Amino acid sequence: MAAERFDLVVLGAGSAGIAMAVRSARHGARVAVVEPGPLGGTCVNVGCVPKKAMWLAAELAEAQQLAREVGFDSAPGALHWPRFIERRSGYIDNIHASYRKRFDELGIELIAGRGRFLAANRIAAGERELAAGHVLVATGARSHREAIPGGELGIDSDGFFALRACPRRVAIVGSGYIAVELAGVLRALGAEVVVFARGDRLLRAFDHDLGEGLAQAMQARGIGLAFGRATAQVTRTASGHALRFADGSVEQGFDELIWATGRDPVTDGLGLDVAGVALDAKGFVATDEWQDTNVPNVHAVGDVTARLALTPVAIAASRRLADRVFGGKADAKLDYANVPTVVFSHPPIGTVGLSEESARAQHGDAVKVYRTSFRPMLTALAHGEERTRMKLVCVGDDERILGIHLLGIAADEMLQGFAVALKMGARKADLDATVAIHPTSAEELVLM
């Protein structure tokens, strides 16, 4: 059977794959996308989108408590999980439909199945063989599980989204953004939650003030934090999951155990070795700054690479790659510096640029830090104690802003505009010269 010819074959229909396919097709390329699962990959189906939906539900649960505190005559009620999940699923179904419509409009061929390389420019997709001018590997990543006895007894973030009721007592193993996000959601929705971390702090990749501040806020909400706990074994008893740690201690009685210990690239079964595509030491597809692999015309974007594992990063990198390969923009590539990101914890975190530690490692005593801490208005009205924290990391006599770090109500929404300012090279004096919007939490960033 003769191979069908395409300008671009995309392996994976997640955020990176869809963005590359759509932008390339708009440039006139003939595109095929090979995907064994639902459109949208991790983000749409078991990541950003359903996570944000659950976070919003948790926010409403907390808002009920605040409403009662400030004088509303209403009793907080529990979330009806099946009803909410029906809404969540309907929202995701609409995203799937929008992708399919866009593919149809642009003539992108969607092939259900797992693609694999037969050669650097030939892909097997089920019974079909595709000849490709370019190939994009965008197969993403999957949850990592600890290789310990009983590790299979727990669930991962995918399993969290399959829950149809709130567990009574939950153990979460991990200290990164997935661990703290799921902990906050489950606690707000009524679960008793304990987070077990191998290290000595939360969110080690973030500025230390953010991790420390979030730990305090989580503990104030009743979330247990246990540091220095390396999980060695899991068993299931009549009272629930029991976790044995490397130090010999045991914690038990958990209805659910959730692994949040990182993610591994999905590269198995792709035939990358057949094509000669190199992997890095951790098994990610190795790419240069142009998203190119070591094999000509084979590219990789998204979580299958060791780049920032963020949906907007994958989309932006793919679009620029498409502009370069099919749009005639020879210099198009993504600048990975100063990418803003949000952790949908309770309270949320917004951060962009260098942490204080990284800034001092690069610039030493030229770094100057500004901090503020305050109770936002709603918290104060409810006689709450939780504080919003803000931090600016600056360098040099002109105090160019290197990092902006926020923890508190609405941090997720207020960061975007300040990230633009940082990307443009804003100085502390630029913030000082900006008139504050009062009364808001965001005004504190220009009043420090």
Q: Provide the annotated active-site residues.
A: 438
Cβ neighbours of residue 266 closer than 8 Å, sequence gap 6 or more? 12, 139, 140, 141, 142, 304
Whether 243 contacts 257, CB under 8 Å: yes
CA dist., res. 23 & res. 313, Å (int): 15
Whether 47 contacts 157, CB under 8 Å: yes
- CA distance readout (Å), 414 to 175, 387, 405, 433, 444: 25, 16, 11, 18, 11
